[in-house]
Structure 1
Amino acid sequence: MTRLLPVAVALLTLAFPTSAAAPSSPPTSAPPTLRIAGPAGTFRAGEQVLVALSGWPAGAVQIEVCGNEGRRGALDCATSRAGHGQVPSSGAVTIPVVLTAPPVACPCLVRARTPTGTTNATVVLPLTGVNALPAPASGGAPELVVAGLHAVDGSGVPGWFGLPGELTVDLTLRNVGPIDAVDPPFSLLFGRPGRVHALVDAPPLGTIGAGQTREYRIRIPMDVATVGRHELHGRIEPPGRPVAFAVEAARYPWGLLGLVAVSLVWLLARLRRRPRPARPEAVGEAPAGRRA
């Protein structure tokens, strides 16, 4: 039994979870491309075209028409009438999209992006039939940057045994622009790498003043099925340039494996200590030298 104790202790050390949390970014080895499949020349608002994507991450994709070259992000785009589709694991798909007139005048473009904007691509769109006014001149816009990002499994001991818990993400935002960012839209998606589809509640960001830095703590519920590597993707859309981020964390129920290992060690020890049954003597005639 004493020789088995070091094995049990070594296995129990695995019960302490290791949570890897590091900002991640879309792969750069194969840049995504976007093109409009249709006749050369000018397109017209309301016309349906085929938009082809390649080298795109698997999952949901949103395709929208933007005026003002999309300089102000969602403010320049017909986001409410965007086209949507699912990209297979091959990364190539063709999606029919109606060219909805953007809310501001051209120059126009078609923009494709993941729901949180971690991957995006644009293509110039010569578009007629847009009667919107030009985008208003502005003396500046807020410019948010991610100054800090860290994720850790906050489930504690219950997480060691695969019980429900939560992922805690600390996010630091800095506004390096000349004007305040007032409660910009904020969206979050959570899921396994390549399948980040689950929409989760994002906290209100409030007002981030010009030159100000603010810290936020985001708590993501994790159920029993949340095991292995997972990613959280976020997108913030202030007037001006949107900002996107992605962070990865891992969750493994090492405690369950430790319990199984200790149980096996205990069982083996019991089997070794169990007394063996006495061996019965053979019954037969006495040796010839001992006969009466």
Structure 2
Amino acid sequence: MRRLLPVGVALLALASAAPATPSPVPDGTPPVPRIAVPAGTFRSGEQVLVTLADWPAGTVQIEVCGNGGRRGALDCATGRAGHGQVPPSGAVTLPMVLAAPPVACPCLLRARTPTGTTHATVDLPLTGVSAPPAPTTAGTAELVVAGLRAADDSGVPGWFGLPGDLTVDLTLRNAGPTDAVDPAFTLLFGRPGQVRTLVAAPPLGTIGAGQTREYRIRVPMDVATVGRHELHGRIESAGPPVAFTVEAARHPWGLLGLAAVPFVWVLARRDRRPRPAHRAARRAGRRA
């Protein structure tokens, strides 16, 4: 027993002198959305399973891009993109047919939310692409939002919560040295924090270098569109993408007015009734 005591004391001393291992502290950094495809080489027109992880819930768009996606939508087969829904867990596997990109590889697979606020890419070894290489230009188009205004054009029907239109006037200016040819345009509409409804976006056509063009966008608002709402837009050309947000509010005051009519009618009826003192005076006058 006496021999074990010094050994135990020494072990306790070593344990107390050893530095404590710090516990991991979460840094609060949100996870980075990821996209993955099976290993191997693929062929244009082949169907593959695309896996997304740590993705925001809602609609996702997946498209094949050539030229390494350097020019944005101009390098991608946006017209034949695949679409799917991501559950709240943020993880999903979606089947997709690999469309041929409009320009030659190197190719990649790009996933993004409709407005492009979240996006991710993965290299895609793709064969069977006969598209020409992307043209080399001295510069790129640089679109700038030069004007943005929204107005509720529902008129009198909107006072009663009936369907109507939100009219948005958008002015774009191309400050770059080259034309912006049919840039991809995406619109989403909804309540703040829940902007998920896709809206048909008008074709932008060609915006020449140094040119300014105006567009009028009509956003349908149904009976359920009440209170504050937002319209989110994103335009992708060969240059940097352009994003904008416009707010609008819709309050059916006419419905409140209709609801108040019965109360006003009751109050008016009460004011027209003779008061007790008046009634007594009338009776006394009759007796006299």
Task: Look up the equivalent residue of 1:121 and give its one-letter code.
Answer: H
Q: For 1:61 and 1:162, how far apart are their aligned partners in 2?
A: 32
| Within-5 A mapping of 1:133-282 | 133-192=132-191, 194=194, 196-200=196-200, 202=202, 204-271=203-270, 273-275=272-274
CA contact (8 A) 1:118 1:246 kept: no
Residues 98/148 of structure 1: CA separation in 2 closer, same or farther (3 Å cut): same
SS at match of 1:112: strand
Relative contact order, higher structure (CA 8 A, sep 6+):
1
RMSD: 3.3
Q: For 1:123 and 1:185, how far apart are their aligned partners in 2?
A: 18
The number of equivalent residue pairs is: 246
Q: For 1:108 and 1:127, how far apart are their aligned partners in 2?
A: 7
Per-residue CA deviations over 1:225-271 (Å, capped at 9, x if unaligned) read 43234333434344444434343322121221133235424423533
For structure 2, the residue ranges without an aligned partner over 5 or more in a row are 1-28, 281-288
Q: For 1:96 and 1:183, how far apart are their aligned partners in 2?
A: 28
By how many angstroms is 1:170 displaced?
A: 2.1
Task: Look up the equivalent residue of 2:171 and give its one-letter code.
Answer: T
Runs of 4+, deviation exceeding 6 Å:
276-279
Report the counterpart of residue 103 of structure 2 in structure 1: 104
By how many angstroms is 1:48 displaced?
A: 1.3
By how many angstroms is 1:91 displaced?
A: 4.3
Per-residue CA deviations over 1:194-235 (Å, capped at 9, x if unaligned) read 363344352x54543323333333233434343234333434
For structure 1, the residue ranges without an aligned partner over 5 or more in a row are 1-28, 280-292
SS at match of 2:133: coil
Q: For 1:71 and 1:189, how far apart are their aligned partners in 2?
A: 25
Report the counterpart of residue 282 of structure 1 in structure 2: none
| Within-5 A mapping of 1:80-119 | 80-115=79-114, 117-119=115-117
Between Structure 1 and Structure 2, the one with more helix by share is 2
* Farther off after superposition, 232-241 or 270-279: 270-279
Q: For 1:67 and 1:266, how far apart are their aligned partners in 2?
A: 70
Report the counterpart of residue 7 of structure 1 in structure 2: none
Task: Look up the equivalent residue of 1:141 and give its one-letter code.
Answer: T
Q: For 2:119 and 2:107, how far apart are their aligned partners in 1?
A: 14
Task: Look up the equivalent residue of 1:36 and give its one-letter code.
Answer: A
Report the counterpart of residue 63 of structure 2 in structure 1: 64
TM-score normalized with structure 2 length:
0.69
- Determine if the alignment matches structure 1 residue 124 to structure 2 residue 156: no
CA contact (8 A) 2:235 2:242 kept: yes
Report the counterpart of residue 8 of structure 2 in structure 1: none
Q: For 1:146 and 1:83, how far apart are their aligned partners in 2?
A: 29
CA contact (8 A) 1:190 1:197 kept: yes
Residues 175/112 of structure 1: CA separation in 2 closer, same or farther (3 Å cut): same
Report the counterpart of residue 283 of structure 1 in structure 2: none
Q: For 2:275 and 2:214, how far apart are their aligned partners in 1?
A: 67
Identity between Structure 1 and Structure 2 (%): 65
